[in-house]
Chains A and B, each alone.
Chain A
Amino acid sequence: MSEPMVMSNNIEQAEKGTSLWQDAWIRLRKNKLALFGLGVIVFLCIIALLTPLIAPYGYEEQDLVLGASPPSAEHWLGTDIFGRDMLTRIMYGSRVSLMVGFIATGVALVIGVLWGTIAGYAGGRVDAVMMRLVDILYALPFMIFIILLMVIFGRNILLLFLAIGAVEWLTMARIVRGQVLSLRRQEFIEAAVSLGLSRWTIIRRHLIPNTLGPVIVYTTLTIPSVMLLEAFLSFLGLGIQPPQSSWGLLISYGVETMEEYPWLLLFPGLTLSITLFALNFLGDGLRDALDVRSSKD
């Protein structure tokens, strides 16, 4: 599975390197569902970035006379019991939800890739100790730990990033280590060593770039699980706190009033589900395009 990527470094780096990605892109373009997923994600990101400029109403703008109203021409997705525009709230919520998804995944990415590369490249006892630690952490009931952290140290959004990121890096570390283990016996690493490059340069310049395929695929699949975790915590009241808003929080408000005003539950729920859908399709598509075998553990 790592053959094509190895080739790219073996021969002329620049040209072959791009052709691999072009290859993947051509394969991805044939996958309609994955393209749809990509489109949805790009669209959402643009919306989230532009929210303060394009949101139809103010985030905290109330209309107590109107109160909760079903979707209408003025309020496309209706209003909540304070008369706040649902579309606006979902748009602002998307900023938090997507940010948590990307940043926490980023934390997981950095820790996981570094950990996996170092363990795989160092080998021997260092590898054994590092991976043993991953095994131990794997066995921990992390959901409970995140709840514990949020309870003890307050519901801080930075802590949320760290806590979620700290959970999700384990699988990444395993995947990267597996890649590096097979890579480091290849000739081009030997060549790099014989050229006298330092260990750190070899890791940075030659090992990490070659693990990119599986890392990208797994990253795309980590984002939805992170977003789900955030929504889950916010739903329980342990994640994002008002006045900030996220989809999970909106869903939990929606549940409280779903008997009278079902649209307050349906729209944020639909938004979250479609996003998760899109990310999963994109991840599956990338997996096929980059030809990465899924690792089940």
Chain B
Amino acid sequence: MFRFILSRLLQAIPVLLVVITATFFLVRAAPGGPFSAEKAVPPEVIKALEAQYKLDQPVWQQYISYLGDLAQGDFGPSFRYPGRTVDELIYGGLPITAELALYAMLVAIIIGVSAGVFAALKPNTPQDYVPMSAAMVGICMPSFLMGPLLVLIFGIWLEWLPVSGWGDLPGDKLLPAITLGTGYAAFLARLSRGGMLEVMSQDYIRTARAKGLPEWVVVLKHGLRGGLIPVVAFLGPAFAGLLSGSFVVETIFQIPGLGRFYVQAAFNRDYTMILGTTVFFATLIILFNLLSDIIAVWINPKLRHQVQGGS
């Protein structure tokens, strides 16, 4: 197990390096310097600014020094917010985005898994069709449509919930979390239905029933463990999706999280901010994929034996 984790960690390093390198050179290849948008600035000022951001050095030297700074957790200064560093912006937005992603994930898991398991218990009956059709609607309803519709219904027409902000008013975290979570709830419902259907026809489930265990123990204890393997495998990629989904949700609900910073940075051409957030997001996503791989091996005895037995 330890060797498996270690080898996976080692594999993640080249991926990360590719991300950093590609982003760095893409951003450097961008037409127009970061300061060219401003009005006519005296050449000395541009020189001074370029020196401050190390833009006067050859590209490869900038690259090396950027890598060096990154290794120490330093993302450099922001181009657009003078006096602020990318680190400050990232660490300011991260807790908010993480909290949003966590709530969304909870919404997705609670609704999705229970709907999927519920449907799988009686396949091809109304108990199956109704939640699964709802899941299909959830998949086909993108967050940038779901969000505004929820705002329109619960915020503006019914006036039940606040329509924007994060932690300012009671209940303002509810709509963003639901908006972000429903799409994944729908996906998880399909995955857990598929997983449960496959598991519930296995011999060991028959054995468990033959032992005279009550049905809910069979389902919850024996069924879920195997049936949720596809769900767990999906959680890593889902987290990546939640982060990029947070771009839209944070923009709609005006939440000062990472996603909104990223979109703003993209519009403002704040190159160091784009570079920093990309690298940061990439690291997070790679780590979460790694984590979901490890959990998948950990809960699936078949995979665990493969890992321990084979090389």
Instruction: Give the interface of A toward B (CB within 8 A).
Output: 136, 139-141, 143-145, 147-153, 224, 228, 231-232, 235-238, 248, 251-252, 254-255, 258-259, 262, 265, 269, 272-274, 276-277, 280-281, 296-297
Contact B145 A272 (CB under 8 A): yes
Q: List 24 A-B contacts (CB under 8 A).
A: A139-B12, A139-B285, A141-B281, A141-B282, A147-B262, A148-B23, A148-B27, A151-B269, A152-B26, A152-B29, A232-B144, A235-B144, A236-B248, A251-B144, A251-B145, A254-B148, A255-B252, A258-B148, A265-B145, A265-B149, A269-B145, A272-B142, A272-B145, A276-B139
**A151–B267 CA distance with the chains assembled, in angstroms:** 7
Q: For the side of the interface on B, what is the size category?
A: 35 or more
CB distance from A143 to the nearest CB of B (A): 4
Binds A, one of B14-22, B75-83, B214-222: B14-22
- Near A by CB (< 8 A), chain B positions 90-131 give none
Q: Which residues of A contact B230 (CB under 8 A)?
A: 296
B1 at the interface (CB under 8 A from A): no
B278 at the interface (CB under 8 A from A): yes
**A213–B229 CA distance with the chains assembled, in angstroms:** 27
Q: A255-B252, A259-B156 are in contact. Are A238 and B266 (CB under 8 A)?
A: yes
**A149–B31 CA distance with the chains assembled, in angstroms:** 12
Contact A231 B144 (CB under 8 A): yes
Most buried by A among B18, B142, B285: B142
Contact of B244 among A144, A153, A258, A259 (CB under 8 A): A144
- Near A by CB (< 8 A), chain B positions 202-260 give 230, 233-234, 240, 243-244, 247-248, 251-252
Contact of A139 among B191, B244, B281, B289 (CB under 8 A): B289
Q: Which residues of A contact B145 (CB under 8 A)?
A: 251, 265, 269, 272-273
**A148–B275 CA distance with the chains assembled, in angstroms:** 9
CB distance from B2 to the nearest CB of A (A): 22
Closest to B282 in A: A141
CB distance from B230 to the nearest CB of A (A): 6
Contact A231 B142 (CB under 8 A): yes
Instruction: Give the interface of B toward A (CB within 8 A).
Output: 12, 14-15, 18-19, 22-23, 26-27, 29-31, 136-137, 139-142, 144-145, 148-149, 151-152, 156, 191, 230, 233-234, 240, 243-244, 247-248, 251-252, 262-263, 266-267, 269, 274, 277-278, 281-282, 285-286, 289
Contact B266 A151 (CB under 8 A): yes
Contact B142 A277 (CB under 8 A): no
CB distance from B139 to the nearest CB of A (A): 7
Q: Which residues of B contact A258 (CB under 8 A)?
A: 148, 151-152, 156
CB distance from A15 to the nearest CB of B (A): 36
Q: Which residues of A contact B148 (CB under 8 A)?
A: 251, 254-255, 258, 265
Contact of A136 among B15, B234, B269, B285 (CB under 8 A): B15
**A150–B136 CA distance with the chains assembled, in angstroms:** 30
Contact of B18 among A140, A236, A237, A252 (CB under 8 A): A140
Contact A136 B156 (CB under 8 A): no
CB distance from B165 to the nearest CB of A (A): 17
Q: Which residues of A contact B15 (CB under 8 A)?
A: 136, 139-140
Q: A152-B30, A265-B152, A297-B233 are in contact. Are A147 and B140 (CB under 8 A)?
A: no
Chain A binding surface SS class: helix
Query: 11 other contacts beyond A139-B289, A148-B266, A153-B31, with CB at 8 A cut-off?
Result: A147-B247, A147-B262, A151-B30, A152-B26, A235-B248, A236-B251, A248-B144, A251-B145, A255-B148, A258-B152, A280-B139
Q: A136-B14, A152-B30, A262-B152 are in contact. Are A273 and B266 (CB under 8 A)?
A: no
Closest to A228 in B: B142
CB distance from B161 to the nearest CB of A (A): 15
Q: Which residues of A contact B144 (CB under 8 A)?
A: 231-232, 235, 248, 251-252, 255
**A262–B252 CA distance with the chains assembled, in angstroms:** 16
**A127–B14 CA distance with the chains assembled, in angstroms:** 19
Contact B152 A141 (CB under 8 A): no
Q: A139-B12, A144-B278, A144-B281 are in contact. Are A273 and B140 (CB under 8 A)?
A: yes
CB distance from B179 to the nearest CB of A (A): 12
**A238–B251 CA distance with the chains assembled, in angstroms:** 13
Contact A152 B278 (CB under 8 A): no
Closest to A259 in B: B156
Q: Which residues of A contact B151 (CB under 8 A)?
A: 258
Q: Which residues of A contact B14 (CB under 8 A)?
A: 136
Q: A141-B240, A258-B152 are in contact. Are A280 and B140 (CB under 8 A)?
A: yes
**A224–B274 CA distance with the chains assembled, in angstroms:** 28
Contact B142 A232 (CB under 8 A): yes
